[in-house]
Amino acid sequence: MSDVRTALKQGLAQLREAHVPSFTLVAELLLLHVLGRDRTWLYAHPEEQIFAADADRFFALIARRAAGEPTQHIIGKQEFWGVEFEVTPDVLIPRPETEHVIEVALDRLALRELRAGRKQTLTGEGLQIADIGTGSGCIAIALAKELPGATIYATDISSAALAIARRNAARHSVADRIRFLECNLLEGFIHRAPACADISDVGAQHAAPLLGNAASGTELGSRVTEHGSRSFDLIASNPPYIGRREAATLMGEVRDHEPEVALYGGEEGYEFYAGLITQAAAHLKPGGILVLELGHNTLPAVQPLLGASTWTNVGVTNDLAGIPRVLAAERL
Ligand SMILES: C[S@@+](CC[C@H](N)C(=O)[O-])C[C@H]1O[C@@H](n2cnc3c(N)ncnc32)[C@H](O)[C@@H]1O
């Protein structure tokens, strides 16, 4: 038997020795995970005895974290936009800077409503939204929660990631408004494109009609075969944007544990954006909004891709570290 304070002190000392960032917080999270308690309990019960089996489990988790495994993989979750997301090694761990994508998207949509002289209460009624490279589903699900009237399409090239995203959508009760498509960027929406797997959780009877079928109310088949063009009000994406040539500079817990397909955009990192922006231009309505997360050094390569003949109101938002993190624009 050990008490809470002693176990915590030993655990955090091991993490400090292994140079784990935020070692106190990590030790607390791992202990809370093992004990199934919250932080208030932890501080209120420092003398509480913990069972030997729990202490053993705690120190086993400390050893995994000290060996470089991300805390989120050990506890299987990460908070984003105030809600908890399941994460596994198949998806990128949602990052706090990605919350700026949500903020910018909601601000831009609200501004559009204001300019159109509509009420400022934004429910997203009738909006068609796409999240490209959805991973855990964090962007799609945060938008679905904020915009209860919107229909959202979430694509990813990784079927393993989409399986996690679907579970997260179900967990947050928005699975009936998000269509999950396994495809390359927005290719699933190209008119008569080769079929792209629709792996939504919802059954055909309950699914929202597909884009382009909305007018006729045609229900969804098990595969996507036909779509309208220029149908989206908002396209958001946090694409892979790290350069392979930067791989050696990444923290081991990122490089060795997160999916390569989610990390690397190419040799330089910005290679995804040209295709994404071209496809987004083809699929956004006039006045539709594009919101892209950027890598720490990708703005100079990406901003020139938003040419004035196609895009207007181009804006850059910095993250809390002052890095240009989100690029947004409106389709002419
Ligand atoms: C940086 S992660 C972002 C995940 C999630 N949206 C987030 O913000 O945490 C990029 C995602 O894009 C997906 N991806 C990579 N290449 C893709 C492609 N060609 N088409 C669609 N998705 C792709 C990856 O599988 C990964 O889930």
Cβ-based neighbours of 188, under 8 Å, separated by 6 or more: 153, 155, 181, 196, 198, 224, 227
Q: Could you tell me the distance, in angstroms and rounded to a whole number, from the CA of residue 163 to the centre of ligand 1?
A: 13
pLDDT of residue 211: 54
Contact call for residues 301 and 279 (beta carbons, < 8 A): no
- Closest C-alpha to ligand 1, atom 17: 157
pLDDT of residue 224: 41
Q: Could you tell me the distance, in angstroms and rounded to a whole number, from the CA of residue 117 to the centre of ligand 1?
A: 35
pLDDT of residue 138: 98
In eight-state DSSP terms, residue 257 is T
- Ligand 1 pocket check for 188: Cβ under 6 Å: no
SS3 helix, strand, coil % of the chain, rounded to 5?
A: 40, 20, 40
Closest to 213 (Cα-Cα) out of 228, 200, 198: 228
Q: Please give the Cα distance from 273 to 259 (Å, whole number).
A: 19
The three-state secondary structure class of 109 is helix
Question: Residue ranges of the chain with pLDDT lower than 70?
Answer: 1, 120, 190-196, 201-229
pLDDT of residue 307: 97
pLDDT of residue 198: 79
- Ligand 1 pocket check for 185: Cβ under 6 Å: yes
Which of 91, 92, 292 to mutate for ligand 1's pocket (most ligand atoms within 8 Å of CB)?
A: 92
pLDDT of residue 197: 77
pLDDT of residue 181: 95
Q: Could you tell me the distance, in angstroms and rounded to a whole number, from the CA of residue 327 to the centre of ligand 1?
A: 17
- Ligand 1 pocket check for 72: Cβ under 6 Å: no
The three-state secondary structure class of 235 is strand
Cβ-based neighbours of 225, under 8 Å, separated by 6 or more: 192, 195
Q: What are phi and psi of 168, to 5 degrees?
A: -65, -40
Name the E strands within 97-150.
Answer: 128-132
Q: Could you tell me the distance, in angstroms and rounded to a whole number, from the CA of residue 183 to the centre of ligand 1?
A: 11
- Ligand 1 pocket check for 265: Cβ under 6 Å: no
Integer angstrom CA distances of residue 270 from 67, 265, 293, 302, 308: 31, 6, 11, 7, 20
Contact call for residues 306 and 235 (beta carbons, < 8 A): no
pLDDT of residue 188: 80
pLDDT of residue 222: 35
Distance of CA 5 to the CA centre of its chain: 35
Count H helices and E strands in the chain, helices first. 12, 15
Cβ-based neighbours of 65, under 8 Å, separated by 6 or more: 15, 18, 20, 26, 30, 71, 74
pLDDT of residue 147: 97
The three-state secondary structure class of 167 is helix
Q: Could you tell me the distance, in angstroms and rounded to a whole number, from the CA of residue 156 to the centre of ligand 1?
A: 6
Tokens of 246: 């930067």
- Closest C-alpha to ligand 1, atom 9: 94
pLDDT of residue 191: 54
- Ligand 1 pocket check for 139: Cβ under 6 Å: yes
| Residues 25-45: tens digit of each pLDDT | 999 999 999 999 998 998 899
- Closest C-alpha to ligand 1, atom 13: 133
pLDDT of residue 180: 95
- Give the side-chain half-sphere CA count within 13 A for 45: 16
pTM of structure: 0.92
